[in-house]
Amino acid sequence: MKKHHKILHDLHSYVLIIIGALLASFSVACILLPNDAIDYGTAGIAIIISKMTGLGLSLCVLCVVLPFLICGIIYLGKVFCLKAVIGSVVYMVGLDYFERMPFSLNTEHFLAVAFGGALLGAGLSLILKFGGCIDGSEILANVIVKKLSDKTGRNYSMNVILIIFNALVYTAAFILIDKSAALLSLLVYIVATAIIDHFTDHFEAIKQVRIITKNPEEMIRGIRDDLGKTCTIVDSYGAIAGENKTLICYVNYFELQKLRDLINRFEEPSFTTISTIDEIIR
């Protein structure tokens, strides 16, 4: 029964990642590009290359994102990267299809960019919420944070890395394409990230996970072996369940998806809460 539930859960995740990637590609191809705006992250780099060289956008996206996907497979695990690959492939196919579709939203640039940014944010929210990723900058930030955490034993937010990466993308757009396009694209970033933060509860921030269970040994082993993380163990007592243990673990948003899968694998019932941490002081 549990295996059947997991298959349905995984299928549900992949379907929503595909829907999110199609929403994102429609927004870029039919709303943002016709109104002189670009996407952010590695997709933004691909759009700049496409505009400067005349190459197809989907081909440019493939060339830019492929090294990041390979890096993610090496450092972040096969499950995460399977979802990232599926999302990226659907996004590229969607770009190729929607670019040739006889539809574009040609209206006042500000309104189009605000609507396109919101639609892009909704698509990316679906992808991120169900453990996928179509942007190489998020994979890069995740790898850097993981390396820093492994080296120092501390938890780091991806926020600074993503801001620096996208600042470089928009600076390049400002210099190489057009000043107005760069400013419109910055508005896309602000709108899209506001939507993403709302639906994913600040995906770039550190997450505190509290797991209440009677038999913590297997869970602790899984957290250590699968995530390379440690956790704090606190004695606790439930009014009905009686004595149990509370495990407190800190992970980033992409590790959180792996931790959810880990918790779902165990037959032992547990109670888990997740909260966003603004800062950890050591």
State the first-to-last Cα distance of the chain, in angstroms, to the nearest integer. 44
Check pLDDT > 80 for residue 128.
yes
Q: Which of the two residues, 67 and 105, has the higher pLDDT score?
A: 67
Q: Which residue has the tokens 């792996």?
A: 258
In this prediction, residue 5 carries a pLDDT of 63
Asked if 84 and 123 sit in the same domain, the reply is yes
Check pLDDT > 90 for residue 15.
yes
Asked if 264 and 171 sit in the same domain, the reply is no
Alpha-carbon 192 to chain mean position:
13
Asked if 83 and 106 sit in the same domain, the reply is yes
Phi-psi region of 56 (alpha: psi -120 to 50; beta: other; left: phi over 0): beta
Does some domain include residue 97? yes
CA distance 88 to 240: 47
Asked if 194 and 267 sit in the same domain, the reply is no
Domain boundary among 180, 200, 220: 200
pLDDT in tens, 56-96: 888 999 999 999 888 887 777 777 778 888 999 999 999 99
Alpha-carbon 204 to chain mean position:
8
Asked if 171 and 260 sit in the same domain, the reply is no
In this prediction, residue 4 carries a pLDDT of 64
Does some domain include residue 282? no
Asked if 196 and 249 sit in the same domain, the reply is no
CA distance 27 to 115: 9
Check pLDDT > 60 for residue 2.
no
Say which CATH number the domain at 210 has.
3.30.70.120
Asked if 168 and 214 sit in the same domain, the reply is no
Domain boundary among 200, 224, 250: 200
Domain containing residue 65: 2-200
- pLDDT level of residue 20 (50, 70, 90 thresholds): very high
Asked if 161 and 217 sit in the same domain, the reply is no
Asked if 186 and 265 sit in the same domain, the reply is no
The domain tally of the chain equals: 2
- pLDDT level of residue 3 (50, 70, 90 thresholds): low
- pTM for the whole thing? 0.82
Does some domain include residue 114? yes
Asked if 163 and 218 sit in the same domain, the reply is no
- Residue 116 gets which letter from DSSP? H
pLDDT in tens, 136-179: 888 888 888 888 877 777 777 788 888 899 999 999 988 988 88
Q: Find, among 270, 268, 265, the residue nearest to 3 by Cα.
A: 265
Asked if 63 and 138 sit in the same domain, the reply is yes
Asked if 79 and 157 sit in the same domain, the reply is yes
pLDDT in tens, 181-226: 888 888 898 899 889 888 887 777 788 999 998 888 888 888 888 8
